[in-house]
């Protein structure tokens, strides 16, 4: 386990919170709850980096949903191509 995980704000939270099924209705509230925890997390950036490094597409990592992480990846790729 990476060292930063022991400092994560979610370390004592049920992991299921970070893996909602869907994006509407109860899942939207679940996403909001997970993101609230992530906003207070001192290791949100390493968490996002870890999700990218392991190639996970599921769940909320570092305060970003699957869609938000995919958008970030695309923006970073475009920036690299322009450089």
**Structure-token pair, residue 44:** 């949100």
Environment class of residue 3 by beta-carbon count within 10 Å: exposed (0-12), middle (13-18) or buried (19+)?
exposed
Q: Residues comprising the binding site?
A: 10, 38, 41, 47
Q: Residues comprising the binding site for [4Fe-4S] cluster?
A: 10, 38, 41, 47
Per-residue pLDDT of the chain (83 residues; tens, 9 = 90+): 789 999 999 999 999 999 999 999 999 999 999 999 999 999 999 999 999 999 999 999 999 999 999 999 899 899 988 87
- How do residues 38-47 score in pLDDT, each as one tens digit? 999 999 999 9
Task: Give residue limits of the domains in the chain.
Answer: 16-81
- How do residues 22-33 score in pLDDT, each as one tens digit? 999 999 999 999
């Amino acid at each position: 386990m990476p060292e930063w995980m022991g400092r994560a704000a979610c370390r004592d939270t049920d992991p299921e919170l970070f893996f909602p099924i869907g994006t509407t209705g109860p899942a939207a509230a679940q996403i909001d709850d997970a993101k609230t925890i992530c906003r207070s997390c001192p290791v949100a950036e390493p968490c996002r980096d870890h999700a990218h490094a392991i190639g996970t597409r599921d769940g909320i990592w570092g305060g970003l949903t699957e869609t938000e992480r995919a958008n970030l990846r695309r923006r970073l790729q475009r920036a690299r191509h322009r450089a």
